[in-house]
Structure 1
Amino acid sequence: MNNQIRTTLLLAVMTGFIVWIGGLMGGRGGMVMALVFAAAMNFFSYWFSDRIVLSMYKAEEATPGQAPELHEMVRDLARKAGLPMPRIYVIPEEAPNAFATGRDPDHAVVAVTEGLLRLMDRQEIMGVLAHELGHVKNRDILIGSIASTMAGAVMLLANMARWSALFGGVRSDDEGGGGMGGIGLILTSILAPIAALLIQMAISRSREYLADETAARLAGGPDGLSRALEKLGAYSGRLALNARPETAHMFTVNPLSGSGLMSLFSTHPPLDVRIAKLRGVPRDPGPGGGKNRPPEKNENIWDRLSG
């Protein structure tokens, strides 16, 4: 299924959730208002989802003059991938991570945290950047950005439904016929965010493996990204990223990953499985492709950006 069809289906399903919740809250009138709200969200999520997500994380654009090495790495990878040069943003967070957003490759953005630049060596950063450009090349970024915006809208309406039920603002059964009442609203307010999360999970998990494989080929081998994933997994337990649940699927590694039952709702495949699959990707046979380089310290990249 191509991403245009997937995006259309996602918008249709999310719109259905929003209209359903609106009907429970206000009958036919609520459904009409929810449909108008969903149409507005569809418009804004298509044209402005990248700005919305970047503003959530207070990301600032890094110019070539501010971060020459970072731009050089992204430019080299974009050239290998046959992509336009994306804009580069830096997120003021200590936890290492990254994501890509935008409605198409011509309007793509790659955002990295300060912690990624500080805690990873050059080859590992290249691996993470290549993974995010893999999402751009595979045209995952629009559906991921729309999923985050629409999931946020569903969660907002679910919270409104919960408060409406608690304070008696529930439509009577004769307003729209067959209403579920307060208990139904409370159940909906619980189930709707879970349904939104399951949609995010279905979108994200199947695409992470492909982005990892694309990254290994762009970077000339899997070593950088596989080492980066190991580090990201280790740091995620020590450095918390102040992430929003509706955007968790966009990051290289899930910033909200849990264990046990919560792992069933993870937006990403298990890290150990991703690393094992990566290490099975053939190395680039070209000149110097896939050869191990000694780890490099990153102070120069970070110092030039922050100085």
Structure 2
Amino acid sequence: MLIAQITDIHIGFEPDSPDEFNRQRLDRVLADLKALQPRPDLLLASGDLVDRGDRISYVRLREALEGLPFPVHFALGNHDLRDVFADVFPEAQFTDGFLQYAIDGGPVRLLVLDTLEDGRHGGGFCATRAAWLNARLDEAGDVPTLLVMHHPPVEVGIAWMNTDPAEPWVELLASCLRGRSNVIGLVCGHIHRAMTAKWEGLVVATCPSTAPQVGLDLRLLDPDVPDGRALIVADPPAYALHWWNGRELVTHWDTAEDRAVLARFDQNLQGMVQHMMDERPGTSGRLL
């Protein structure tokens, strides 16, 4: 199973420009995903879909995603507004006012969580959302399950984007997952960078953004002393591919940009490739 992920699209950062920079970056990523072979089974768009929560930006997002050869599933981030999103995407599956739902039918079950907390830049998770998650995990305890959310529940080291481990929502989410054998990992957005961490015995992977990325700076930060550090950088638009090989979830990240090819699988390198694959006892070249 091959799961594509995009995140932090931020359509509408330039509200009066249908052809804005962030839309161009999204289009470049979507062109890459449409050309992929094998084709992804589905695409996750994991929050901060638009920049200001306005209707026209959600409409433009919907237009950008039309005609894709795979289904798109959404999570919400801190820049999103639930009611406006629901107006433009009426098919979205809300439960108790939260965009939380299961994606079934493949070898991996996906549970999309809603970590949007009105008025907060950081995440949130409440008793209502936790009860839903516990019920879904209980009902399919033997199915490999991947959690999808916008905010990662880990401290990432970039001071102004960090999650504090002491935030109550982090502990509440952790309490839902302890002792579970069916959860294989969490995929998130929000950080605008590729990152992995071990949390509660699970791998957390964040997807880099289609919008501009967050600068990598791990120094301490004093909010009262502007130090000129780079907060946002124009690295290429990016995406993640999560491949379930039947045993483990493997995450790759890539960027949508032109690049020089330095070697190809041709007759000159055929012998090397054959030798490398002959070393393997199984059939490791085929996606599941």
Same fold (TM over 0.5): no
- The structure, 1 or 2, with the larger RCO (C-alpha pairs under 8 Å, 6+ apart) is 1
* Structure with a larger share of its residues in strand: 2
TM-score by length of 1: 0.23
Structure with greater helix share of residues: 1
